[in-house]
C-alpha cells in the first residue's frame, strides 16, 4: 500500500512506525533466538526475504553468498540510495537470561545486528508506503559476515554496487553508550582501518642450560613487543590516532627447552592513510632490525583489512538535518571517532557514505558491544526506523 507524503512527514513516519513496531520487535526476538555466524545466515536471510515478499518489494538472495538486496522505486527519477544493515552474529555464549535468548549454543547477537536487520525491515515498510514521494531508488542491502569475515567485499564482488548503480550509501550502528532515542555523528574519519599482522620469529632451539648454543626467539619476541609500542608513540603523528596491539605471543613447550620459533600476532588501527602506511613500514623495519641485532629470521605477514570509514558531508549534513527535523535539535550530537573497524567502509570508499549512530542503551544498564550480557533497548528499533526513513525522504527529495 502506498501513501502520499502529507504536509507533516514527521507525523506520517511516526504513525507508520507506531503501527509496525510491535511486529518488528517480534521479528527481532526471533532473529535473536536463532543467531547465525558470517556466511551462515541462511535462516536470517530467509526471514528478510519473507518480509520483503510480503511488502511487495522485489529482492534478490545470494548476493555475497547469503546477502539479500531489495529495491524500492520512487515516484520520480533520481539517485540510487543504498541503506545497509548487517545480519551476522558472534561466537559468544549468551548470558542474558532473556526469554528469547539464543537457542544455539555458543552463538549470540552480541553486536546488535539483529537490531540492524529488523530496523532496515522497518525502513523498508515505511519507504514502500511513501515511495511516490521519493525522487530516486532505495536499495536495501542486508549484508552477511560483517564481523571480520568479508561480507561487504563479497557483496561488492557479486555486483551489489550495480544494477542499478549505487550513488549514495547510508549505514547505521547501535551504540550502547548512548540512550535510546538519541543519535550521534562524526565528521570525517569515524571508524578505523583494521589491519592485522602475524610475525614468526625463528631462532635456533636447544637446551635452556646452554643459552650460548641457541638463538632464543622468545627473548627476541619480547624485545619486539616492547619495540612495537614505539610505532605509535614515536613515529605516527600524534594528531592522527593509531593503535598497535599485540594480542598473542606464543612459543615453547616446556621449562628447559629454548624453542625454534615464537609467534606474535596483533592488530593495527588507524584513521588516516599516512598513519596506516607508517605503521606497516615500521613493523616490517623493526622485524628486520631484530634479525640484525638478535640473529633471528622473522617472517612477517601483514594483512590490510577494511579501510577507515570516512563520513562524507554530502551524506552527513542532510541526514543530521533529517534526524533533527524528526526528533528535535537535541536528539543528535557530534561524537568522537572510535578505533573499531567496519566493512561498510568498503562501500563508503566507492560512493559518498555516512554511518549514523543510534543510541541503544537501556536505563540503568552499562552494556558493551560483543559482551555476553548485552541487552539493547528495543525502542532503538523504532527510533532508528524513523531516523533512517526521514533521511531517505530528505536525501531523495
Q: What mean pLDDT do residues 367-391 have?
A: 97
DSSP-derived 3-state class of residue 77: strand
Question: What distance in Å separates the CA atoms of residue 313 and residue 321, rounded to the nearest whole number?
Answer: 12
Q: Encode pLDDT of 25-48 as tens digits.
A: 999 999 999 999 999 999 999 999
Q: Which of 244, 276, 304 is the last residue of a domain?
A: 304
What share of the chain has pLDDT > 90, as a percent?
A: 97
- Of 193, 144, 153, 189, nearest to 303 by C-alpha is 193
28 and 125, same domain (yes or no):
yes
Q: Which of 250, 282, 304 is the last residue of a domain?
A: 304
86 and 222, same domain (yes or no):
no
- In the structure grid, which three cell numbers stand for residue 365, read together? 544498564
DSSP-derived 3-state class of residue 235: coil
Q: In this structure, is residue 1 part of a structural domain?
A: no
Question: What distance in Å separates the CA atoms of residue 226 and residue 270, rounded to the nearest whole number?
Answer: 19
For residue 210, the domain's CATH number is: 3.30.70.360
Q: Encode pLDDT of 97-117 as tens digits.
A: 999 999 999 999 999 999 999
DSSP-derived 3-state class of residue 46: helix
Cα→Cα distances 85→140, 150, 221, 269, 327, Å: 8, 14, 41, 23, 22
The answer on pLDDT for 5 being more than 90 is no
Pick the more confident residue, 149 or 317.
317
pTM of the model: 0.94
Cα→Cα distances 181→175, 228, 342, 375, Å: 11, 41, 23, 16
How many domains is the chain built from?
2
Mean pLDDT taken over the chain: 97
Q: Encode pLDDT of 257-300 as tens digits.
A: 999 999 999 999 999 999 999 999 999 999 999 999 999 999 99
Amino acid at each position: 500500500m502506498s501513501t502520499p507524503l502529507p504536509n507533516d512527514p514527521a507525523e506520517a513516519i511516526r504513525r507508520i512506525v507506531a503501527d509496525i513496531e510491535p511486529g518488528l520487535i517480534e521479528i527481532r526476538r526471533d532473529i535473536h533466538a536463532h543467531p547465525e555466524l558470517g556466511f551462515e545466515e541462511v535462516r536470517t536471510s530467509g526471514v528478510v526475504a519473507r518480509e520483503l515478499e510480503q511488502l511487495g518489494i522485489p529482492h534478490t538472495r545470494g548476493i555475497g553468498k547469503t546477502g539479500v538486496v531489495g529495491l524500492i522505486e520512487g515516484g520520480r527519477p533520481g539517485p540510487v540510495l543504498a541503506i545497509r544493515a548487517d545480519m551476522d552474529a558472534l561466537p559468544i555464549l549468551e548470558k542474558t537470561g532473556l526469554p528469547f535468548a539464543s537457542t544455539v549454543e555458543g552463538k549470540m547477537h552480541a553486536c546488535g545486528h539483529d537490531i540492524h536487520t529488523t530496523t532496515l525491515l522497518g525502513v523498508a515498510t515505511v519507504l514502500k508506503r511513501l515511495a511516490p514521494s521519493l525522487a530516486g531508488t532505495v536499495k536495501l542491502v542486508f549484508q552477511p559476515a560483517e564481523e571480520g569475515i568479508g561480507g561487504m567485499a563479497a557483496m561488492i564482488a557479486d555486483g551489489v554496487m550495480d544494477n542499478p548503480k549505487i550513488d549514495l550509501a547510508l549505514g547505521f550502528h547501535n551504540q550502547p553508550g548512548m540512550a535510546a532515542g538519541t543519535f550521534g555523528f562524526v565528521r570525517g574519519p569515524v571508524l578505523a582501518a583494521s589491519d592485522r599482522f602475524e610475525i614468526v620469529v625463528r631462532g635456533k632451539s636447544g637446551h635452556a642450560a646452554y643459552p650460548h648454543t641457541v638463538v632464543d626467539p622468545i627473548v627476541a619476541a619480547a624485545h619486539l613487543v616492547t619495540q612495537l609500542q614505539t610505532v605509535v608513540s614515536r613515529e605516527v603523528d600524534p594528531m592522527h590516532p593509531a593503535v598497535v596491539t599485540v594480542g598473542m605471543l606464543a612459543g615453547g613447550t616446556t621449562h628447559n627447552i629454548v624453542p625454534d620459533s615464537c609467534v606474535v600476532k596483533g592488530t593495527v588501527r588507524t584513521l588516516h592513510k599516512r598513519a596506516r602506511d607508517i605503521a606497516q613500514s615500521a613493523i616490517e623495519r623493526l622485524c628486520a632490525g631484530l634479525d640484525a641485532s638478535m640473529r633471528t629470521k622473522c617472517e612477517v605477514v601483514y594483512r590490510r583489512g577494511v579501510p577507515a570509514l570516512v563520513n562524507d558531508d554530502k551524506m552527513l549534513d542532510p541526514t543530521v538535518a533529517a534526524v533533527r527535523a524528526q526528533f528535535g535539535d537535541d536528539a543528535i550530537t557530534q561524537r568522537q571517532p572510535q578505533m573499531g573497524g567496519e566493512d561498510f567502509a568498503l562501500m563508503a570508499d566507492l560512493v559518498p557514505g555516512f554511518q549514523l549512530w543510534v543510541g541503544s542503551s537501556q536505563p540503568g544498564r552499562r552494556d558493551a558491544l560483543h559482551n555476553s550480557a548485552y541487552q539493547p533497548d528495543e525502542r532503538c528499533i523504532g527510533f532508528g526506523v524513523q531516523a533512517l526513513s526521514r533521511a531517505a525522504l530528505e536525501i531523495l527529495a
